[in-house]
Amino acid sequence: MARDLMKGNEAIGAAAIKAGCRYFFGYPITPQSELPEYMSRELPKVGGVFLQAESEVAAINMVYGAAGAGARVMTSSSSPGISLKMEGISYIAGAELPCLIVNIVRGGPGLGGIQPAQSDYFQATKGGGHGDYRLIVLAPNSIQEMCDLVMDGFDIADQYRNPVMILGDGILGQMMEAVELKKPKKRELPPKDWATTGIKDKYGKKRLISSLFIQPEDLEKHNLKLQMKYEKIKKNETKFESVYADDADIVLTAYGTTSRIVSNAIKALKKEGIKAGMIRPITLWPFPYEAYEKAADSAKAFLTVEMSLGQMIEDVKLGVNGKKPVHFYGRTGGMLPDQTEIVEKVKKILGGEI
């Protein structure tokens, strides 16, 4: 397929259908409504099912059911809607079911606003729902990367039997860029021999999908098994991009749209002879801590830039592990980080003013 100009929200839908997703359950909310709109138009054409549920809670439980039956399934929403889905997400993680959840983040807390934000970082990476579970959180910074990660995301979900979240923001949802739908790297996917399709399993037992383990011994065992899986995911799937970070005096960190504003700031700093680099996490969970261990030996300081007020910085500090100071700059509520302000902040840090 040639490169085409696509809006982020629609590109997610196109990539999902190309990846074999045939079930979408959702509920409209700005700034992601073009995605369910696209799916309502395009899924029936390929024999798929689009269903606008009565609420986000219903939608995520429909995802739970379809995933349990072995279908490639997704849902999408924006911040307040994702909060509503959190109970279902915890159940899906507990029952070890693969699915894709898209969050095109808007400003919070509460009903908040409808402009872009990144203030759902904690919710996405540190829980959100109850229990010791992990979401695999992918954070694209362009429409092309969003397509790539959606397609790979379905495979990752299947490979580990774990829900995967695409964490975008209002800008990524609304903007248009050139995209080409490319097949992701091939993964060996295990057969879905656990799916409740009416067939008994290989020992002749009925298949059961549940997150209920009433005996504490059993529940602990289940949790330990989940942890082993999470360790494997950390080892195999951690992904980041390093931009001039090896010989930089200051290493900035940003993900998603913010990383593009930061890359402009780095260019501007370079023109002034200031060596700035960036570590851009592509997986927010698992977080690329080891990238910071290395950079902490060479860089003088770190600066985390977010469309939130200090969430990812906690992970950056864990990675830097006290070796160097970690500073913060962020805007929130739908306001965007400003390139000039980032440049000024870097100069102040390197000048020893802060």
Partner 1 sequence: MAEQQIIIAGFGGQGVLSMGQILSYAGLLEGKNVSWLPSYGPEMRGGTANCNVIISEELVGSPIVKEADAAIIMNLPSLEKFEKFVVSGGNLLINSSLISEKTSRRDVKAYKIPANDIANEIGNAKVANMVILGAYVELTKIVSPKSIIQSLEKVLGSSKRNLIQINEEALKRGAESVKCLV
Which residues contribute to the site for partner 1 (CB under 8 A)?
3, 5, 30-31, 114-115, 170-171, 174-178, 257, 260-261, 263-264, 267, 336, 338-339
| Cα radius of gyration rounded to whole Å, the chain | 21
Nearest approach, Cβ of residue 178 and partner 1 (Å): 5
Nearest approach, Cβ of residue 264 and partner 1 (Å): 4
Complex with partner 1: residue 125 or 174, whichever CB lies closer: 174
Nearest approach, Cβ of residue 329 and partner 1 (Å): 15
Complex with partner 1: residue 178 or 208, whichever CB lies closer: 178
- Cα 163 to Cα 153: distance, rounded to the nearest angstrom: 9
- Cα 75 to Cα 99: distance, rounded to the nearest angstrom: 8
Q: 115-147: b or e for each residue (b if 16 or more CB lie within 10 Å)?
A: bbbbbbbebbbebbbeeebbbbbbbbbbbbbbb
Complex with partner 1: residue 99 or 171, whichever CB lies closer: 171
Complex with partner 1: residue 92 or 254, whichever CB lies closer: 254
- Cα 245 to Cα 253: distance, rounded to the nearest angstrom: 10
Nearest approach, Cβ of residue 277 and partner 1 (Å): 15
DSSP 148-216: HHHHHHHHHHHHHT-EEEEEEEHHHHH-EEEE---PPPP--PPP-TT--SS---TTSPPP-------SH
The encoded tokens of residue 279 equal 């570590």
- Cα 176 to Cα 77: distance, rounded to the nearest angstrom: 19
Complex with partner 1: residue 52 or 339, whichever CB lies closer: 339
Complex with partner 1: residue 265 or 291, whichever CB lies closer: 265
Nearest approach, Cβ of residue 333 and partner 1 (Å): 13
- Cα 79 to Cα 66: distance, rounded to the nearest angstrom: 23
Are 136 and 237 in contact by the 8 Å Cβ rule? The answer is yes
Complex with partner 1: residue 61 or 263, whichever CB lies closer: 263
- Cα 73 to Cα 68: distance, rounded to the nearest angstrom: 10
Nearest approach, Cβ of residue 42 and partner 1 (Å): 16
Nearest approach, Cβ of residue 170 and partner 1 (Å): 7
